[in-house]
Amino acid sequence: MTGAVALVTGGGRGIGRSTSELLVSRGVTVVAVSRTERELRSLKDSVGADYIVASVETERACESIIEETLRRHGRVDILVNNAGVESGVERPIWQQDPTLFRQSLAVNLEGAFNLTRLAAGDMVERGSGRIVMVSSTAGEVGGPRMSAYCASKHGLLGLMRAAAHDLAPYGVTCNAVCPGWVRTPMSEHTAEVEARELGVTTDEIWRQRDADSPAGRIVTAEEVAETIAFLVSAAASGINGEAITVSLGSAW
């Protein structure tokens, strides 16, 4: 992967940060995208990743992200659609806020669609490229009080499979990873909401999630990043249109 240029959204923290760090360590030029410059600056100081402060929520923002990446580096060889909003503020479907639902779709799904659409053309012309969607086990099995999150993560899998068919004749692959629980800043907030409702500590929530896993623990952001790094490598050239669950056998 030495010399490749990767665009990683949601790259300032959690799975996106671990993926950015890992790809840099393998010789990839990484452009991390996030709304929080402090996190991106820390990533740059730590491993030397380039960054763009932006949201993927609108079509124009996605256009600007691609344009700026091409201006700086001339190409996008790898696209990791990882940016997302959490489910911790959602309510049961009959109480769900339509504005929140639309925002979740805009960030989690439409952002991935727009960036994939905008990056894929150059990949097709070059005859190579790798795209990975970061979905979730919630995108496979659903979950309570998560209608926006689940709809967007299910949608990512459909988008991935359709794009995989379109891109396969041109040497470009599109796959997805579906992590279970990972202790990231985003899921930490979800755990805090659950802990308050149950009258327990956040650590107790995470201990229960560990206990619910067949392995007795949840996966780490680094383990998810390793799977993503494999999918964007030459070793995964024969894998296309697949959703790989990274959850140690747990449904969540």
Active site residues: 149
Bridge partners (DSSP) of residue 173 are 130
Cα radius of gyration (the chain):
17
Q: How many CB atoms lie within 10 A of CB 15?
A: 30
Q: Comparing C-alpha atoms, which of 61, 100, 109 is closest to residue 82?
A: 109
The rounded distance, in Å, linking the Cα atoms of 167 and 158 is: 14
Q: Comparing C-alpha atoms, which of 127, 118, 122, 137 is closest to residue 61?
A: 118
DSSP string, 140-188: HH--TT-HHHHHHHHHHHHHHHHHHHHHGGGTEEEEEEEE--B--HHHH
Q: Would you state the structure tokens that stand for residue 221, as one six-digit string? A: 């952001």
* SS3 of residue 220 by DSSP: coil
